[in-house]
Amino acid sequence: MVPDQYLPSIYAIDFRELRQRGITSLIVDLDNTLVEATRADATPRLIEWLDSIKQQGFRVMIVSNNNQTRVSKFAIPLQIPFIHAARKPLNRAFKRALKELGSQKEETVVVGDQLLTDVFGGNRMGFHTILVVPVSKMEGFFTKINRRLERAIFHWMKKRGYLNWKEN
């Protein structure tokens, strides 16, 4: 359940370090990881970030629990492959992403804003996981429930010394 890294945003990811670890592929969540759940399109900063990591040779796939309409309208203009209705933290979408990326789990990082879906699912599969601070505080009903559980889990992990980073 503990992420390998906890960062303020996707923009804080050190791609040189990932490359040194042998990482070549990213599985990224969409809502509140890349952009706010209410934002239909990518920001200019995100487009620049995606172009930069692609130029560095990384492969990127969006894996989201959201519906096909939401995810496809966001991903298709960016020419990024995607999986919608992923049902994270279950393994099926992660396995499909690996196959479509042509990557091994040791070469892949999972990046997301939720401990109970992105990190838990990524850890279960043996991926390097990066938890980022959500880009927005506006969230759906089920995400709000997850956030409450996450706070309790963070508190528990902190008390037991499992966290080697500061909680924001």
Chunked mean pLDDT (size 10), the chain, 168 residues: 91 97 98 94 97 97 97 97 97 98 97 94 96 81 70 73 57
Q: How much is the pLDDT for 126? A: 96
Phi-psi region of 123 (alpha: psi -120 to 50; beta: other; left: phi over 0): alpha
DSSP 151: H
- Domains (ranges, CATH) in the chain? 5-159 (3.40.50.1000)
In the prediction, which pLDDT does 117 show?
93
At residue 53, the pLDDT reads: 97
Contact 18, 109 (CB under 8 A): yes
Kindly tell me the sign of the dihedral angle through the C-alpha atoms of 59, 6, 32, 97. positive
Q: Round to whole Å and give the CA distance between 140 and 83.
A: 20
pLDDT in the model for residue 165: 57
| Residues across the chain | 168
- Which of 59, 62, 60, 58 lies closest to 71, judged by CA? 62
